[in-house]
């Protein structure tokens, strides 16, 4: 059975004071009967690491640079975030792909760097509205996945997570319906199963895109949805805590 993972991607939000109250507000509602992951901005990693000590809450980075070290101004390596307790890193979030023009190949390099460092990459995939309307959702996702499979092979997915995040649903308030999301999750699992059935059966697949306390329960009840990657609603302790509690019965 795959455990349910609820991840909060705080994006470029927060302040020292805000992070203190958000984390303590979340912890007050726990412990939770699901995996909980917080993904703050790099500059708050140490603060969050300190606040979650002694709890089961995990810490992740929003991105990493795949290079090990050196002349990369502004870059942050896997070994750096490991030092601050990160067990996970998002790779290929659609905002990185669009705002920073990250290519499938760069995303695959990041994925590979995480795997080599013993960290769990959360590979984000998803189609734009135009791609969905053109009926090419599965094809787009297959391409995003193929770039990573070509770089690291299916065995790397034994210790990876995939987040399906339709670009049109991110930050829009317009979540995919449970039926739409389940269909894509099923397709992603089939893509993995074509390579390795056992790995496909164990890989956690998260849904992301306007998840909130109103729609989370129905999404998490879907057989191939093993958790959620949450942006906006993860910035409110009560809302995030409520979703984590719903996840306890899911899966």
Q: Residues 40, 121, 126, 231: which binds ligand PGA (CB under 6 A)?
A: 231
93 is catalytic: yes
CB atoms within 10 A of CB 137: 20
133 as an active site residue: the answer is: no
Q: Which of the stretches 59-67, 112-120, 151-159, 204-212 binds ligand PGA when contact is defined by CB under 6 A?
A: 204-212
Q: Which run of H or E residues covers position 126?
A: none
Helices (H), the chain: 16-29, 45-51, 78-83, 94-99, 104-116, 129-133, 137-152, 178-193, 197-202, 216-220, 237-248
**Is there binding between residue 244 and ligand PGA (CB under 6 A)?**
no
Is residue 209 within the footprint of ligand PGA (CB under 6 A)?
yes
Q: Give residue for tokens 């927060």.
A: 14
| The only residue of 188, 191, 211, 246 in contact with ligand PGA, by rule CB under 6 A | 211
DSSP reduced 3-state for 14: coil
Q: Does 181 bind ligand PGA (CB under 6 A)?
A: no
Report the nearest approach of ligand PGA to the CB of residue 172 (Å): 7
Which C-beta is closer to ligand PGA: that of 14 or that of 232?
232
Q: 3-state class of 70 per DSSP? A: coil
Binding residues vs ligand PGA (CB under 6 A):
9, 165, 170-171, 208-211, 229-233
Which residue numbers are catalytic?
93, 165
């Amino acid at each position: 059975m795959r455990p349910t993972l609820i991840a909060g991607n705080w994006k470029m939000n927060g302040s020292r004071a805000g992070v203190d109250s958000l984390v303590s507000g979340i912890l007050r509602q726990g412990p939770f009967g699901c995996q909980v992951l917080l993904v703050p901005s790099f500059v708050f990693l140490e603060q969050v690491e300190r606040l979650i000590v002694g709890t089961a809450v995990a810490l992740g980075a929003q991105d990493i640079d795949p290079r090990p070290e050196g002349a990369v101004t502004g870059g942050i390596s896997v070994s750096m975030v490991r030092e601050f307790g990160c067990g996970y890193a998002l790779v290929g979030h659609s905002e990185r792909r669009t705002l920073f023009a990250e290519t499938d190949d760069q995303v695959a390099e990041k994925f590979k760097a995480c795997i080599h460092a013993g960290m769990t990459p959360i590979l984000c995939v998803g189609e734009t509205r135009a791609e969905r309307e053109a009926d090419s959702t599965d094809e787009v996702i297959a391409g995003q996945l193929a770039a990573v499979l070509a770089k690291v092979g299916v065995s790397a997915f034994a210790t990876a997570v995939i987040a399906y995040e339709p670009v049109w649903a991110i930050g829009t308030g317009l979540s995919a319906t449970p039926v739409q999301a389940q269909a894509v999750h099923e397709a992603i699992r089939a893509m993995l199963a074509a390579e390795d059935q056992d790995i496909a059966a164990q890989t956690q697949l998260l849904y992301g895109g306007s998840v909130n306390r109103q729609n989370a329960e129905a999404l998490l009840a879907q057989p191939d949805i093993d958790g959620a990657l949450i942006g906006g609603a993860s910035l409110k302790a009560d809302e995030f805590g409520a979703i984590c509690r719903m996840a306890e019965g899911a899966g």
